[in-house]
Copies of this chain bind each other. A is one copy, B any other.
Amino acid sequence: MSEELGLTVKKEDAPEWYQQTVLKADFADYSPVKGCIVIKHWGYAIWEKIQEVFNDAIKKHGVQNYYFPMLIPESLIKKEAEHFSGFTPEVAWVTHAGKNKLDEKLAIRPTSETIMYAMFSKWLKSYRQLPMKVHQWCNIMRWETKMTKPFLRGREFLWQEGHTVHETKEEAEKETSWALEEYAKLSEDLLAIPVVKGKKTDSDKFAGAEFTLGIESLMSDGKALQMGTSHMLGHNFAKPYEVKFFGRDEKWHFGWQTSWGTSTRLLGGVILTHGDDKGAILPPKVAPIQAVIIPILFKGKEEKVIKKCKELEKKLNKTKLRIHFDNREGYTAGWKFNDWELKGVPLRIEIGPRDVDNKKFIIVRRDTGEKIAIEENNIQETLETFLKKIHNNLFTRAKEFVKTHTAKPKTVKDLKTAINSKQWALIPHCSREECEKELENKSEGGPRIIPLKQDSIKNQICINCKKEAKYWLYWGKSY
């Protein structure tokens, strides 16, 4: 059975490794619907943790949860032209109900600006109602025609979308930055994934936004993953959807709007960033199980070991720790080790008959493989300490990876070499869209993000056109 269980490839064979890890560790499975996956319990439990933490953060910020209809009439989605043309190529359309053709076809939401702002227009009357902060957790449908990949690119995914309206442009811009910071915290503090905070180039921003902020992270296969975006919408939607308020000056004004979202693609980021040849390694704060207890059984001495394991599981689960005792019969300890390593549980606690007597156990770190002898009497504190250490180590390791895989090429040729050797690059760029397109054709990669933290760009020239450079830009392949 162990052949079936383990991975048959190493992590360097990224696409195959990723697929095997996702499927074999029960994160997700392919479904009978092309491009749509089943998120299985192991993946979904991580999503629940992410939801919990993010919900707390936004509620503290005065954001309220709603639920809006999934279907959007064609006439409504068409109102903002740029938005419509950006999304319609990938919209799934409902045209019939039962045996009847509908009078108007309905889009399954690719995002909810249009349906939400039609409602905001109805609800918003006075500046006293501002800021308005509306949020929902829901499923989203975008009919990808490119190759789909579990979590990273799919036709249906789960996400959250926040939508706010403000009295002034400054407040809206501040909110856009607030959301970006929350996403960065979510990635780094919760998932141990280091990110670059920045701004999208104009060619790459959200259809209908004035500008888009985003966080990007470099995955272990050299592709960048967009982990969350925050859009300053300005008046672009407020005008066609008539999101207006009666102001302090007793005149009507358009609201300043923002929207921001992240999705189950974060799960793909977790798997890709931290995993190794044995499978996933889960960041402790979101691991559905933080430590698994495995009994080491010898004939005649099973009882006292199992008793101790149960006792420990019960005791530790009364704390904030998430502990599981793997009491499955008919599997060897070795088989269980492999199983939980594949799934990425951060710590393993091994308990044999002698350990019960000595009140000392062996714990094994998933991230380093290190074995540590610990005392039973302060086990809770010890586990907590090691979970923190694992979080920090995963984060440090990932930061180191990004550092060593960020090229600073001087020429397009060097850029191309960097991209082809699984790196991304920080390049000086002139900011012109034509030049960006030209460089895309030459280099395979594309513009990822203009980092907010900019080194001096003075006297730098654009890597491609040699005109004056306007900013440093991350350039690379992406998911």
Contact = CB atoms under 8 A, between A and B. Distances in A.
A138 interface: yes
A384 B47 CA distance: 33
A292 B300 CA distance: 62
Contacts of A33: 69, 71-73, 106, 115
A88 B95 contact: no
B92 A36 contact: no
Contact of A69 (B37, B71, B122): B37
B65 A38 contact: no
* Main secondary structure on A side of the interface with B: mixed
12 contacts: A31-B118, A32-B73, A33-B69, A33-B73, A37-B69, A41-B64, A44-B66, A70-B156, A88-B98, A91-B97, A93-B94, A108-B108
Interface in A65-105: 65-73, 76, 88-99, 105
Interface in A125-175: 128, 134, 138-139, 141, 143, 145, 156, 158
Interface string A43-79: 0110110000000000000001111111111001000
Contacts of A37: 69
What 3 A-B pairs come out closest when comparing CB atoms? A36-B69, A41-B64, A97-B143
A119 interface: yes
Interface of A: 29, 31-33, 36-41, 44-45, 47-48, 64-73, 76, 88-99, 105-106, 108, 115, 118-119, 122-123, 128, 134, 138-139, 141, 143, 145, 156, 158, 330
Which of A33, A39, A115 has the most chain B CB atoms closer than 10 A to its own CB? A33
Given A139-B70, A158-B67, A93 B95 contact: yes
B91 A94 contact: no
A62 to B, nearest CB: 11
Nearest to A328: B128
A97 B90 contact: yes
What is the copy number of this chain in the assembly? Answer: 2
Contacts of A138: 139
Given A32-B76, A72-B33, A141-B70, A65 B48 contact: yes
A30 to B, nearest CB: 9
A69 B106 contact: no
Contacts of A69: 31, 33, 36-38, 156
A109 to B, nearest CB: 10
A67 B39 contact: yes
Nearest to A105: B96
A98 B89 contact: yes
Nearest to A119: B38
Given A76-B32, A156-B71, A94 B66 contact: no
